[in-house]
Amino acid sequence: MQPFTYHQSESTADAVRALTSPVAVPLGGGTDLLVAMKEHIAHPETLVDLRRIPGARAVELHDDGSARLGCAVRIEDLAAHAGITKRYAALAQAAAAVGTPQLRTMGTLGGNLAQRPRCWYFRGGLPCFKNGAADCLAETGENHYHGLFTTGTCHAVHPSDPLVALTALEAAVEVTGASGVRTLTLAALFEGAAQRPEREVTLAPGEFISAVLLPASAAGGVQFYEKLMQRGAWDFATVSLAAHRGVDGTVRMAFGGLSLGPCRVNPSVEEDVTTGDLDDDSIDALAERAMYDAKPLEHNGYKVWQAQALLRRAMRRLDPL
């Protein structure tokens, strides 16, 4: 691995200053970044550790049901936090579904959202789109774990479980940089992820995710996360689903394993599930409609069936009747 400088930030201003260097990148737990450096797909010269910034590890639950989760909150802390488990069960379940206990102990929320795709062509250093070539090698190659809803050249999927729950809960991110603090929807954070080789998030140079913001509407109701994997012990999702019926009855659902960013279930399906009173035929019809725009590649058609199976189960759990 190439040599690098480690910078431990003691404040937000210090991190912003350190990240103005074009060869510096944010560091969370390092569980993805250091591996990517060893794989020669990341070449930073300075790693700016965000974990000691005051508030970076704080879980702030507000009285109105909203929350602010610091960027360096550990995945394990999300999974085990009593308040998160009670208010945002889908997020706690998604965090508990991440990798192994070691990864959950080291991995942070910001790093989990900004981690790079696990595509074997990309990680193997092959000449694919994310490695600077013109085409995605998975399009006609080994694409068993690639996406169904691809919005660009790259067919990889985002590996994060928490991202799926945060999408269903309509979370946003707080982004900090030299020009101040701004708030982005998750859709805006990942806009154009499959069309950009160098990274998936839309952060400007020097910016970092300083917090994840959950709206009051994300708290309570019926919510859960379900993840399908090729093997039971630990793995990335082939397909996953987060579902939430809010206390006002509104249903929001999101898939994982199907695209390189947040992937909300077709809003017209969400609306019909919100209305409820679904019989078996209407559940089947809605599961079909949700996958109408899916574009399977040669080896990943099974994901359509997995997504529909998860959706049918979720609709039965969410239907209040």
Tokens of residue 10, six digits = 């003691």
Rg value, the chain, Cα: 19
The footprint of ligand FAD on residues 282-301 (CB under 6 A) is: none
Q: Counting contacts by CB under 6 A, is residue 25 touching ligand FAD?
A: yes
**Which residues in 31-50 contact ligand FAD (CB under 6 A)?**
31-33, 35, 50
Q: Are 248 and 215 in contact, with CB atoms under 8 Å apart?
A: no
Check binding of 26 to ligand FAD (CB under 6 A).
Answer: yes
Kindly indicate which of the ranges 96-104, 145-153, 212-220, 247-255 contains the residues binding ligand FAD, using the contact rule CB under 6 A. 96-104
- Closer to ligand FAD by CB, 217 or 306: give it: 306
Region of 95-103, 149-157, 247-255, 297-305 interacting with ligand FAD (CB under 6 A): 95-103
The closest residue (CB) to ligand FAD is 111
Report whether 171 contacts 242 (CB < 8 A). no
The conformational region for residue 192 under phi > 0 = left, psi -120 to 50 = alpha, else beta, is: left
| Partner residues linked to 277 by β-bridges | none
DSSP class of residue 74 equals B
> What's the CA gap between 220 and 166, in Å, rounded?
14
Among 9, 160, 300, 308, binds ligand FAD (CB under 6 A): 160
Q: How far is CA 312 from CA 156, 229, 274, 288, in A?
A: 25, 18, 14, 10
Does position 107 bind ligand FAD by CB under 6 A?
yes
Cα angle value 128/159/74 (rounded, 5°) = 135
Considering only 9, 29, 224, 258, the residue that binds ligand FAD (CB under 6 A) is 29
Find the binder of ligand FAD among 9, 15, 18, 28 (CB under 6 A): 28
Query: Which two three-digit tokens encode residue 57?
Result: 């590890």
Q: Which stretch binds ligand FAD (CB under 6 A): 21-29, 134-142, 257-265, 274-282?
A: 21-29
Minimum separation from the CB atom of position 237 to ligand FAD (A):
7
Q: Give the binding range for ligand FAD (CB under 6 A) out of 121-129, 131-139, 153-161, 181-189.
A: 153-161
| H or E, element range at 244 | strand 239-245
| Residue owning tokens 């379940």 | 93
User: Where does this chain bind ligand FAD (CB under 6 A)?
Assistant: 25-33, 35, 50, 71, 75, 98-99, 103, 106-108, 110-112, 114-115, 159-161, 208-209, 236
